[in-house]
Amino acid sequence: MYAFLLPFLVSLVGAVPYKQYILAPSSRTIRRESVYLTNGTASGAPSLLSSSLSRPLMLSPKSGVTYDFGKNIAGLAKLKGSSSTAAYVNITFSESSLLGSPLQFLLNGAGEYTSPRDKERGGFRYLSVVAPESGKTVIDNDELRKYTGWFHCSDDQLNRVWYAGAYTNQLYTIDPTHGDALIHLHKINSDTIINETTSWYSNHAITNGTSAITDGAKCDRLVWAGDMAIAVPALAVSASDYISVKNSLDSLFTLQSPEGILPCAGVPFSNLGAISFTYHLYTLIGGMTWITKQIDHTGLANVTAAPDWLRFGMGGHNVEANSILYHILALGISLAETLHDTSVIHEYKSYRQGIASAANTLLWNPSTNLFRQRDHNLPPPRWQRLGDKSRPYPALPLTPHFRGTRRQMDAISPFTSRFELEAHFLSNQIVLIRKMWGDFMLDDPRMINSTFLEGYSVAGELHYASYVNNPRISHAHGWATGPTSTMTTFIAGLQLVGPAGKTWIFAPQLGNLEHAEAGVETVLGLFSLMWRWAGFASAGLCARGDEWEGWDADWW
């Protein structure tokens, strides 16, 4: 039996559809949704859930109330209140209900209190109000949803995953004058055990302009090249926020060394002078002269700047770094052709041929059908050979319930799992998104249920091997938003392969879905499509602006 993909023209006039899935609030003033927990003696806690205050929240000494905003948010805490004695009230922010980070307000009489801008909390769902040790405390009670893209299919959980990724993108897009100042740089690192409260300051200018994309809403609030490899495609299909992308990229190019080396992160982290071969490549096409100088007589790049996203064995002639370089050279050829610059095309093609030949000779293990990690006896990674469309893609083994790709011994990485997603899509499988992002990172009760976190342990605990301190884990992290772009590209099959979509392909990977649709906006207009399972052949159409441009469908 054959299957037919029946295309439908989506209305291109009016508002973007499926706004019921958008998690962004309709106003920048957000109120609590529910009382999550009370400790000690507290009265009137539910009254603060309403804008019309019936009675105040009254707290006895050392008592507290935890409020739930219903989803991850960001911004400044604002309250009205008084204390019978001049005393500090602790306001505790937390993305997870299991963790918290306090901020103190000095209540010196009745009045309105707002946290200072340098104490802006980048991400939190829960906010606790804790009274001082003495005295009675009394607390009185734009265009955030304007997306340019959309996605919708017959699986409601997948729809919620797409929009949770888009909302995560919004939270880590910040005013660049309020990046993390890293006041504990050189004093506290990822291995430092902290048993006391430490301060933070979100007052460091990290880019020019009025907005920038960072790695995470709470942590680190800095520009990281590797994170952008996942975050930018997700932004492109949901919000088209290219200004924030440009500002963040420019901040890295400003730091480029005379040798052409780009930093793995922007200021102030760049003060450490860390260099990463792979993160250099993630910064698009910059510094090609330096990177190609690392290619030696074998035809492969010999990596000496080994720091990466905690993947071990990244030095030498390793397969990951050379695979990324192979892809970046292809992007360089495409960019050169677009800009009509033929001077580098032959050189880049020659490098690509050398890498492919050397990798297949030195790194391919025919007994396992896998590439070796490096050109000596190390365990091979869990990678299938990709890129040759003439070969059938095998059915890839599915990982356990919430496991994606490991980074190191006890860590699951949404960053690298995004690349695993592509391998699954090429095998026409979508279960990894359902299990890892849907069932666990979105719907598990320990999660924020609105944004995606940086990483977690193999056991599914809120512990990330990078950090000794679990509260540091970011629950709104750009590199975890891979499904937002991959569902548009692979499930809906809308692939803009030329500049701004000048050329495009409609190549859906159906899985077991009954229908799907997507829309993406570029400077050329709105691209939108819809397909529905009908049961007897395959075809497809795509719209650009108000005109049908033709069709191109994959057959299987």
- Say whether both 408 and 265 belong to one domain: yes
Rounded to the nearest 5°, which phi and psi values hold at 453?
A: -90, 165
Q: Is residue 554 part of a domain?
A: no
Cα–Cα distance, 44 to 140 (Å, whole number): 10
Output the pLDDT for position 10.
38
Q: Is residue 42's pLDDT more than 80? A: no
Q: Distance of CA 465 to CAs 1, 412, 420, 454, 457, Å?
A: 48, 9, 20, 11, 7
How far is Cα 40 from Cα 249, in angstroms, rounded to an integer? 49
Is 541 within the bounds of a domain?
no
Report the greatest alpha carbon distance in the chain.
79
**Residue that is written with structure tokens 């006895």 in the block:** 60
CA angle 349, 354, 356 (to 5 degrees): 95
What pLDDT score does 191 carry? Answer: 67
**Are residue 85 and residue 193 in the same domain, yes or no?**
no
Q: What is the pLDDT, as a whole number, of residue 103?
A: 63
Domain shared by 218 and 253, yes or no: yes
Beta carbons of 170 and 148 less than 8 angstroms apart:
no
Looking at per-residue pLDDT, the higher value among 458 and 97 belongs to 458
CA distance 438 to 449: 9
Provide the domain count of the chain: 2
CATH code, domain carrying 327: 1.50.10.10
User: What is the rounded average pLDDT of the residues 355-384?
Assistant: 74
Q: 283 and 251 in one domain?
A: yes
Low-confidence winner among 93-97, 130-134, 157-161 (lowest mean pLDDT): 130-134
| Domain at 39, CATH number | 2.60.120.260
- pLDDT tens for 168-222 read 999 999 999 999 988 877 677 666 676 676 777 889 999 998 899 999 998 889 9
Q: Tell me, what's the pLDDT at 112? A: 65
pLDDT bucket at 86, cuts 50 / 70 / 90: low
Digit-coded pLDDT (tens) for 282-303: 765 556 888 898 999 999 999 8
- Is residue 99 a part of any domain in this protein? yes
CA–CA dist 421, 414 (Å, integer): 10
Q: Given a cut of 90, is residue 390 above it in pLDDT?
A: no
| 556 vs 434, residue with greater confidence | 434
Q: Is residue 413 part of a domain?
A: yes
Is residue 338 domain-resident?
yes
The dihedrals phi and psi of 288, each to the nearest 5 degrees, come to -65, -30
- Domain containing residue 290: 149-378+393-506
Same domain, 155 and 299: yes
Confidence bin at 73 (pLDDT 50/70/90): confident
Classify residue 457: in a domain, yes or no.
Answer: yes
In this prediction, residue 305 has a pLDDT band, given cuts at 50, 70 and 90, of confident
Query: What pLDDT sits at residue 143?
Result: 54
Is the pLDDT at 152 greater than 90? The verdict is yes
